[in-house]
Amino acid sequence: MTTLQPQEVINQRYQLERQLGQNAGRETWLAKDLQQENEMVVVKLLAFGGNVQWEDLKLFEREANVLKQLDHPRIPKYRDYFSIDDRSLWFGLVQEYIQGNSLREYLAQGHKFTEAQVKQMAIAILEILIYLHELNPQVLHRDIKPSNLILAGKEGEARNIYLVDFGAVQDKASAEGKSFTVVGTYGYAPMEQYGGRAVAASDLYALGATMIHLLTGISPSDLPQDDDAKIVFRDRTSASSHLVQWIQKLVEPTVKKR
């Protein structure tokens, strides 16, 4: 796999600035779009071969196809999709860059969110989910967690929350195919998702688990569970019982009770 370097121009258009993330065969970069007055964009790259197989490529292409159809002010806009073949085969997906920090970064710095802030963020995320779930075909994100939520804007100003990384996305068409890839993140993904049966309420579970993390400062995978596999968190937060009960409903292990 060719290693990419800052300042390198790929696809004769995108000048790489700095790497934002990396995991097996995938790299995410902040880049300048040289054809659009050096506007900053996010370029996600997938190197085909090695650990990266057809299944990964299908997910990557699905992400591009779904993003193309989305139009919501708090989902980064799709810009471009390309492949480059220079000794190794790269696939690239380009999106609008949202300036801000992920909720995971805030949590890592020990930032404490107030109940009012958590409520506000929950409402904002629910608005995005309503949009996705009401599309035809319906779109499930399947990986809502603090690292995929970007808080934009400065402290003290009106701040917006953006939902990013549609790498685990499922649309109805793909759900009806026979093969499925288990995606999601341990602690945030509900049980039915591991059986390949994600539904709209699966995204709600992940939202609830995210809110638990924001209120307690503890990852849901590190919190105890009771005999019914429910996350036990009430004793770790001073949030109102009304909010706690609402979150408990979201993280019901049984889909029907959610």
Instruction: Write 215-221 long-range contacts (CB < 8 A, 24+).
Output: 215/113, 215/115, 215/118, 215/239, 215/247, 217/107, 217/110, 217/112, 219/187, 220/187, 220/188, 220/251, 221/186, 221/187, 221/188
The amino acid present at 133, given as its one-letter code, is: H
Ramachandran sector of residue 80 (left: φ over 0; alpha: ψ -120 to 50; beta: rest): beta
Tell me, rounded to whole angstroms, the distance of Cα 195 from its chain centroid: 20
The Cα–Cα gap between 22 and 48 comes to 15
Among 143, 165, 171, 203, the one annotated catalytic: 143
State yes or no: is 143 an active-site residue.
Answer: yes
The Cα–Cα gap between 214 and 172 comes to 31
Which residues are known catalytic residues? Answer: 143
